[in-house]
Amino acid sequence: MTTDVWNVVVEAQRLSWAFTPLQRVGPLEFGMTHDQVTAAVRGTMSVAVSQGTSSNDGWAEFWLDRGMDARFTGPAVTTYYDDSIGLAGIAVNALRGPQVTLDGMRLVGQTPSRLEDEFRDYLAAQSREPWYSQSADLCSPPLGLVLRAQRAGDVVLSRPVIVAAAWADRCYDTSEGRIPEREWKTFEW
């Protein structure tokens, strides 16, 4: 059986995680060590690939671990670590990541243009201005949230990148911000 990397998990099969800005995403709290993150997702995800999970460019990919159909093999969540604070960034894969909600707004696997409209309305209701990265990704430094896009075959879907307070002030800055270059280059599976 061949694996099609463009298969997208249906909404009912996604894990469900809530997002509290600058604090946590689902079971993951900013500041956790890599071992604590691994323990927090044990039973639903497992580490598939990691590199230097305790340095400024450290990261780890967590893959679904629920006996999911082989068509949905691949990373679900990528975590980014910083020496001074531990877990500092979380990128949720558009194809198979958990559904992350912010005040009922679904952030993962959505049509980017529709989500951008909804997110701009959300920001306006809070009297906050939208920001954009040099890659034209809508973001909000006060929330530590960047709404990126990820390819899914012939379409793109939303891939949120959520960061800790220490990385939030320049989360839009693709050249001088703290989000690793590796993340800004992720566009496909």
Report the pLDDT value the prediction gives residue 1, as an integer from 0 to 100. Answer: 34
Q: Is the pLDDT of residue 95 over 70?
A: yes
Q: What is the mean pLDDT of residues 157-182?
A: 96
48 vs 99, higher pLDDT = 99
Structure confidence at residue 189 (pLDDT): 41
pLDDT tens-place string over residues 150-160: 998 888 999 99
Q: How confident is the model at residue 6 (pLDDT cuts 50, 70, 90)?
A: low
Q: What does the pLDDT look like over 135-154, one tens digit per residue?
A: 999 999 999 999 999 998 88
- In this predicted structure, which of 20-29, 73-82, 88-97 has the lowest mean pLDDT? 73-82
User: In this predicted structure, what is the pLDDT of residue 101?
Assistant: 98
- Using pLDDT thresholds of 50, 70 and 90, give the confidence band for residue 102: very high
- Residue with the larger pLDDT of the pair 74 and 127: 127
Please check the confidence at residue 89 and state whether its pLDDT lies above 90. Answer: yes
The mean pLDDT of the chain is 89
Asked whether residue 79 carries a pLDDT value surpassing 60, the answer given is yes
Please give the model's pTM, rounded to 2 decimal places. Answer: 0.91
Q: Which long-range contacts (C-beta less than 8 Å, at least 24 apart) are formed by 32-40?
A: 32/86, 32/87, 33/86, 33/87, 34/58, 34/60, 34/79, 34/81, 34/86, 34/87, 36/86, 36/87, 37/62, 37/79, 37/87
Residue 55 has pLDDT above 70, yes or no: no
